[in-house]
Structure 1
């Protein structure tokens, strides 16, 4: 795992933990890329997209899950723990492990991917004409007639 990947994971965790709460959902899986979105209010928008590129393995909830932002949420497991998980799940060399800690569950979300990226645009789930910089409409939003 590169230092850049570790720094990016730390930035993602800091974004998540800057909120009083944060919820997540799998948004899409397309051509080996898995996108998880995060929000403080899924009724109206999401404000974080984490995309895992060239995913080898994912154990996740496809419905919403919650995370306690008073502790680390998005982590890279320590080397000993990563080795145990890699061995248990038979993850091939060349993939990095990422974990979302899930509140009130013994099962966390675990994803093995080659790389990650993230976006902090606010993605609105309703139509709005006057989009500000850093805002966009979700793909499913249609302009009213």
Structure 2
């Protein structure tokens, strides 16, 4: 399972490094799954979603992540978080906020991570192109 998480992490880091997707926010957390979205302009749309599945721990600001770098926490970090009593199925994901400036580290323990790309509008609009969609929280 961790290798799938690593593939998702690598894809997310590639998007941050090679596009103008620099701002991230925690869009939702329903006590099971957490959805982190990223864009250049979160007011109107987002271009990447990181959905953490079966979340058992979350330490993350709701807004204000800037050009984060994503990783799976190394064993010494996981050991430092032993008080969380994570299951063997839990992956401790590390999110480093603005690594070139502040480097503040945040953590999410989850069983899996899914990364989705595509333009997701935060408002109602007609004539969507292939790969585009309206965010599920937008009311018609």
TM-score normalised by structure 1 residue count: 0.82
- Please give the alpha-carbon distance, in whole angstroms, between the structure 2 residues aligned to 1:79 and 1:31: 26
Alignment-derived partner of residue 91 in structure 1: 86
Alignment partner of 1:126 is 2:128: no
Q: Flag the 1:107–1:88 CA change in 2: closer, same or farther, 3 A.
A: farther
Within a 5 Å distance, the mapping from 1:38-49 to structure 2 comes to 38-49=38-49
Secondary structure of the corresponding residue to residue 34 of structure 2 = strand
Alignment partner of 1:135 is 2:137: no
Unpaired stretches in structure 1, ≥5 consecutive residues:
none
Unpaired stretches in structure 2, ≥5 consecutive residues:
none
92-101 or 40-49, which moves further after superposition?
92-101
TM-score normalised by structure 2 residue count: 0.85
Aligned residue pair count: 138
9-18 or 54-63, which moves further after superposition?
9-18
